[in-house]
Amino acid sequence: MRTLYPEIEPYDSGMLDVGDGQQVYWETSGNPEGKPVVFLHGGPGGGSTPSHRRLFDPERYRIVLLDQRNCGRSLPHASDPDADLSANTTWNLVSDLEKLREHLEIERWQVFGGSWGSALALAYAETHPERVTELIVRGIFTLRPAELDWFYEGGAAALFPDLWEGFVEPVPVEERGHLIRAYSRLLADEDPAVHGPAAVAWSRWESSTITLLPRPEVVATFTEEKYAVAFARIENHYFVNGGWFEEDQLIRDAYKLEGIPGVIVQGRYDVCTPAMTAWDLHRAWPEAELNIIADAGHAYDEPGILDALIEATDRFAGGEPAGVAADDEGSDEAGSDEAGADEAGSDEKAAHEDVADEEAAGEEADEEAADAERADAEPTDPQDTEE
C-alpha cells in the first residue's frame, strides 16, 4: 500500500494580507516548476501540518499549503479572546484562495481537500471551475442540516454513548435541545473557566471518533487548550451559520464540475462524515471516481484512505512517479483501493506500451530504490491526523 512521501521543508512561505485585518499563512514546497496543487485542511480551524506536504510527489508537484483564516499560523488567531470571526466565512475563504493563486502566479491548480476541506474544495471548484485541473476530496462534508444533526445533535451518540456523555457535560440540561447553539454561547463566553472546558469537550468528541480505532495521542493533541479553543470556535461559528450555503448547495451545484477529473475517497465507517454525503456527491457528479474504503473511518492517514489518496495524486501528477511505497505483507483488505491502483496501472501500461523492455527494467530499478526511501520515512505525527 502507498504511504507518505519523505519529509520535506518549504522553499518559500509568507503571510498574505487578504483584507478584513486577516493575514493568511501560506507555503510552497516540492518542485517550483512542478504541477501546482493546493491542499485545503479540515475543521474548519484544523490548520495545515508538515505531513500534508507528503501526500504529493515532491519531484512532480509544486505543493501549496495554507492555514485558513484565524487558525494555524494565520492571524489573528481564534484562541485570542479578542479575535473577531465575523469575516471568517466560506466565501471569504474562496476569495482568499483566488488571491493566493494570483499572488503565486498560478494559472490553474489541482485542488485537494478533506473533511471540511472537501466542502471548501467543492465551493471553490464550483465557483472557479476554470481554475481547477483536478479535484480530490476525502471524507465528504457539505454542512447540510442532516450532517450537522447526525454528529453534533445526537445521532452519532448511538455509536458512542460513553463519549457523547462527555460532549454534553458542559451544556446545561435545559439547553441540550440544540447543542450547536448552546456551544456557541459557551465558546463566546469571555471567562476561560467557561469557554476552555467547552472547547476541550467539543474537540475531544471529534478527535475520539474520527479514527476507526482509538488513538489517544490524537485526542491529546486536539485537546491542548489553545488548539481546542480555536478549533471549536471556528467550527461552531461555521455550523451556526450553516456554512453560508443555500440548501443542499454543494450537491445541487455539482453539475458545474463537469469536465474536471475527480476522485472521491470515503471511509466506510466514517462516523464524523458518514458515507451518505459521498454517495450523494457521486450521484450528482458521476464523472468522479468513488473509492469507499472498507476498513477505514474518517482520518486521512488511515492506511486504506492514504493509499487511495496518494494513488490519485500520483496518477494526476503525470510523468513517472518517484516511487510508491508498498506494504511487503500485502493485504486482501484494500478492496476498492487496490482496484483503483490496478486501473491506474493498466492506464499507465497502455500509455507506455511502446517503451523498450530494457528501459522499463531501468525504470523498475529506479522505482524500487525510491520505494525503499519512502518506506523508511517516519509515520504520521499524531498532530497531523486531520479532522
How far apart, in whole angstroms, are the C-alpha atoms of residue 193 and residue 214? 28
Beta carbons of 296 and 212 less than 8 angstroms apart? yes
Q: Which residues pair with 15 in a beta bridge?
A: 25
DSSP 20: T
Percent of the chain as helix, strand, coil, to the nearest 5? 45, 15, 40
Counts for the chain of helices (H) and strands (E), in that order: 14, 8
SS3 313: helix
> Kind of pairing, strands 109-114 and 289-293?
unpaired
Q: Which cell is 138 given? A: 476525502
**Residue 27, SS3?**
strand
- For residue 262, report the phi and psi dihedrals to the nearest 5 degrees: -145, 155
- Spatial distance between the Cα atoms of 186 and 316, rounded to a whole number of angstroms: 44
Catalytic residues: 115, 270, 298
Which residues neighbour 50 within 8 Å (Cβ) at sequence distance 6 or greater? Answer: 7, 381, 384
Q: Which three cell numbers stand for residue 359?
A: 528501459
CA distances in angstroms from 267 to 70, 294, 331, 373, 386, listed in the order given: 29, 7, 17, 28, 14
Instruction: Tell me the three cell numbers of residue 18.
Output: 487578504
